Structure 1
Amino acid sequence: MKKALIFQGGWEGHEPAEVADILAGILIEEGFNVKISDSLSTLEEDDLTTYDLIIPNWTQDKITKEQLTPLMEAVEAGTGLAGLHGGMGDSFRMETDYQFMIGGQWVAHPGNDGISYTVNILDADHPLTEGMEDFTVVSEQYYMHIDPAVKVHATTRFPVADGPYQTNGEVDMPVVWTKRWGQGKVYYNSLGHVAEIVRMPEVIALMRKGMNWATR
């Protein structure tokens, strides 16, 4: 049986425990044995290389070298990494090595929560987005700093909300991307501010496809 680890915590505004339960439910449906941990100490106490997939769900906060190094080494050795929103794309802001592995970092959400925007699916024939169509989300619209090495699977167009960034014109910002880290596969989805958004059928479908894709 495939093994997955979800470590959840950090800023409570992202409802990490509830979101972790939703993601665990998807994985269990897909035949995974899932462990959920609410402590970063699991990263130094467990043998992370025994997991086929790891889900970071930990917004902001700090991580020690003794915790981060085993995580990065496990992914480099082939353990998959997948996650969403700030739980993976805004974790451990001071750790640039972590951001290098993820492929991007949150920097802003103009207009804050409640922005209505479109998620554009780039290739409906790709396994990660197969059969999906563009859809609307009312939530935070994540503006990210992106590694040019990532492969982009869905985007959203800025600007929607007012702000000084508007003078740069329109920008298609990645929403879903993938990359490789050594032998490991990395999947990121910027949607999922709170559990209600994660429960959207489109977000569930994207995470189901993405977590399966990233698995060793």
Structure 2
Amino acid sequence: MSEISDIRREYTLGELHSEDVPSDPMVLFNAWLEVVRDSKMQDPTAMSVATVDENGQPFQRIVLLKRFDNDGFVFFTNLESRKAQHIANNAQVSILFPWHSLEKQVAVTGVAEPLSKAEVIKYFMSRPKDSQIAAWVSKQSSPISARQALESKFAEMKAKFANGDVPLPKFWGGYIVRPKSIEFWQGGEHRLHDRFIYTKVAEAWEHSRLAP
């Protein structure tokens, strides 16, 4: 096996000073996301969503952020998926944006709430038609015999909806994660990273610096 314990590097791309930390974390998140998008990083909206099953076992997976505002962070998924089953049992989730190439990350804790059907339909109808069809094909997280089964089902559904709109599957929806805390991490030299955490208190945000 290759040796990995000595793999390390210095973080030198930026700093996060107290005077640059606004009172509203969404202002800082938006600014950071713009930097990430301008950097041409692949999948700038990719985020790891962690949920917990009924036995307390955590699971993580990558999904794409589709919208954010002062209310929270929005993603869409199959409502019969493992993550959706976990959320139905325990809506406490965490999110991580791992922007490694820019030496930044944002970690969020919060509560996932289902989106309204109107919001789900609006987004679903904006997707490319093949993506709409794919939503019908996969019973997410369930065992399948082979990839060919998916491809055959996709071809079948594509023929079925060839001459019309693709309806919203009843098992497809989305969530908004309403944040309780948002932590910003900026890599620093000599492992002296800059970390600031925002915590929701009543309807206001409080923030403080954390030791690296």
Q: Shorter-chain TM-score category? A: under 0.3
Give the TM-score of the pair, scaled to structure 2.
Answer: 0.24
